[in-house]
Amino acid sequence: MSSRLLPVADLGQQIWLDNLTRRLLDSGELASFIDDDGIAGVTSNPAIFYNALKNDPAYQNALAELRPRLADPEARFEALALPDIRQACDLFKGVYLASGGSQGFVSFEVSPRLAHDAAGTVAAAKRLWQEIGRPNAMIKIPATAAGLDAIEAVIHAGINVNVTLIFSNRQLQAVQAAHRRGLERRRAEGLALNGIASVASVFISRIDAAVDGRLPAELQGKTAISSAKMAYARWIEDVRSTFTPLAEKGALPQWLLWASTSAKNPAYRDVVYVEELIGPHTINTVPDATLAAFRDHGEAEARLTDHWVEARQVLSKVAAAGIDLDQLGDELQQAGLAQFDEAYAKLLELVA
């Protein structure tokens, strides 16, 4: 019996795995996800690597060998993690080539300590890009004010970028503008625009978790999906209008990626943030448990393009309830930065 995930690709959406460990690579499990489920990419973050290094015995011997050679904990962490990133990139090479460079990406994040340091982020992104040395790598940069400047510069440098920690449509529009500016600088300088990939990672479930308690029952669980649908509508409009001159020169649009799509509320269907956000030219990155749940009982339908009028109405009612989603997005981004900072500090403590 074929996987329930395969029809999602037929509807135009890529499913990525929001996890990476040496065990996944060495056991062949990630390869089977690609072959059996059509998984088209991988995302990682400091929390994922902390859990991997803490729980996967495969890292312990390697860490013991690194300690005498590398005194700096960040250098030790990268020496452990970057070989996995390269191996995953190689595993997805066939997907990358078969898709013409639109699938098969593996993301690795710059240090969370650089979230408010544009120059440091640019330098780290360029260094990591060179050290990974794979065309289907993506460097993750947060959508902070400093991050926006870095995104423009890194895109201008011809490096693939995954922009993370986007929680509002205002943040998303600023990210898309930074992406366009980077490409426009390349065009002005006569540099090639083709082959530079980027995704904008919009976090979903944390929005509902933050607002549901302030909303009547009939609106609960609907804010994040409605906001994502309106973001997608705006994305289609932008690709058809402002991005067209860049596309004519071979540039790829910045795809929307739905992140944080496991259901935080146990009362909700466990695959709701996958099922409701399937649509063309998008990506959903899912943790192992959500992947398994969709494989078991998920329904693949293109619902992202449905009920836009209802989505606008939901957002109007949310605003009428006194909830400013742009302000909330800024608060959630700060909380997300703090969470990644904490995970990174624990990770460095672990390798030290």
**Which residue from 151, 138, 128, 139 is spatially nearest to 105, judged by alpha carbons?**
138
Domains and CATH numbers, the chain: 6-351 (3.20.20.70)
What is the rounded CA–CA span in Å between residue 169 and residue 231? 6
Q: Which long-range contacts (CB under 8 A, 24 or more apart) does 186-189 make?
A: 186/155, 186/156, 186/158, 187/246, 187/249
Residue 140 is a catalytic residue? yes
Quote the pLDDT of residue 352. Answer: 85
Asked whether the beta carbons of 47 and 22 are under 8 A apart, the reply is: no
Token duo for residue 229: 């649908």
Quote the pLDDT of residue 327. Answer: 98
Residue 328, SS3? helix
Quote the pLDDT of residue 67. Answer: 85
Helix/strand/coil (H, E, C) string of 169-233?
A: HHHHHHHHHHHHHHHHHHHHCCCCCCCCCEEEEEECHHHHHHHHHHCCHHHCCCHHHHHHHHHHH
Pairing mode, if any, of strands 198-203 and 255-259? parallel
**Which residue from 62, 40, 30, 111 is spatially nearest to 348, judged by alpha carbons?**
111
Round to the nearest angstrom and report the end-to-end CA distance of the chain.
46
Helix (H) or strand (E) holding 74: helix 73-91
Note the maximum CA span of the chain: 61
Token duo for residue 258: 């739905």
Digit-by-digit pLDDT tens for the chain (352 residues) are 789 999 999 999 999 999 999 999 999 999 999 999 999 999 999 899 998 888 888 888 888 888 888 889 999 999 999 999 999 999 999 999 999 999 999 999 999 999 999 999 999 999 999 999 999 999 999 999 999 999 999 999 999 999 999 999 999 999 999 999 999 999 999 999 999 999 999 999 999 999 999 999 999 999 999 999 999 999 999 999 989 999 999 999 999 999 999 999 999 999 999 999 999 999 999 999 999 999 999 999 999 999 999 999 999 999 999 999 999 999 999 999 999 999 999 999 988 8
Quote the pLDDT of residue 199. Answer: 98
Q: Looking at 54, 140, 222, 249, which residue is catalytic?
A: 140
Pairing mode, if any, of strands 137-142 and 161-166? parallel
Quote the pLDDT of residue 66. Answer: 87
What is the rounded CA–CA span in Å between residue 193 and residue 99? 17
Quote the pLDDT of residue 61. Answer: 83
**Which residue from 21, 7, 12, 97 is spatially nearest to 52, judged by alpha carbons?**
21
